[in-house]
Amino acid sequence: MLMTLVLTRSYAGNLISHLAVRYIPKPYVNLRELVDDKSGGIIWQQDSSTEQYIRSKEMGILKEVADLEQKGRARRIPVKEFYSSIDNFVKRGDHVIILYDEFLSILLGQQFSNTGRCDLYLLKDKIKPSMAGMMVPKDSPFLPPFNDRALAINEFGLYEYWIQSAIPNYTACLDPPTKISVSNSLSISNLWGIFVVLFGGFFVSLIFLGFETLL
């Protein structure tokens, strides 16, 4: 009886919880995993500097990303369609969006504001630096003070602060998740392992109980 009690308590504890874990495919970590996945696709802004930059590469991972367009694995869409493409393609798990960090952060913030969850994340790979500037006439006397002010704004972190203040939930989903939780109703199909171990334990317990009775 003691053996039966020990086995029952064991199977009702951590062992059963581990057997009930649902395993899901690991999301993309970098561009290499995306390129190697034959079902993976990319989405970028049509007629943009990003599109031109990727197409201009003649070697490396970006050249392989550019080749995806010839294989029919690239979608060129205008900016206004990026948010809808999240539900249509990205959340399926086989597409990624290539866009400027600021725009991606806006999309992440909007998704978090609407759902309260971080269903999206940023890949570790960076394609190119993001730059912004101002234009003035040649030999304009305003150029030196503009340069000084722009440098000061960047050095003191004001630009980043303004971006975070202007975009709701800007930093809510910037870090990729370390754990992924999936809610799913329990059924016999995903609990069969528990019952196998449980009834197997009962069977072994009965055998030991029989030996104890005979002895």
In what side-by-side order are the strands of the sheet with 95-98?
74-77, 41-45, 95-98
Contacts of 17 (CB under 8 A, 6+ apart): none
Residue 16 confidence (pLDDT): 53
Residue 5 has pLDDT above 80, yes or no: no
For residue 95, what are the β-bridge partners?
Answer: 41
Confidence of residue 3 (pLDDT cuts 50, 70, 90): low
Residue 64 confidence (pLDDT): 92
Residue 11 confidence (pLDDT): 52
Does this model's pTM top 0.75? My answer is no
Q: How far is CA 164 from each of CA 106, 108, 114, 167, 168, rounded to the nearest angstrom?
A: 10, 12, 18, 6, 7
Residue length, the chain?
215
Residue 187 confidence (pLDDT): 65
Q: Which residue has the tokens 């990003």?
A: 50
CA distance 114 to 145: 42
Residue 67 confidence (pLDDT): 92
Instruction: Give the rounded percent of residues in the chain with a pLDDT score beyond 90.
Output: 4
CA distance 88 to 18: 33
5-14, 23-32, 77-86, 190-199: least confidently modelled range: 5-14
Residue 74 carries which side chain, given as an amino acid letter?
Answer: A
Q: Is 75 helix (H, G, I), strand (E, B) or coil?
A: strand
| Comparison of pLDDT for 76 and 1, the residue scoring more | 76
Please give the angle made by the CA atoms of 44, 131 and 111, to the nearest 5 degrees: 45
Residue 145 has pLDDT above 80, yes or no: yes
Could you tell me how far CA 208 lies from the centroid of its own chain?
50
Confidence of residue 48 (pLDDT cuts 50, 70, 90): confident
Q: Is 90 helix (H, G, I), strand (E, B) or coil?
A: helix
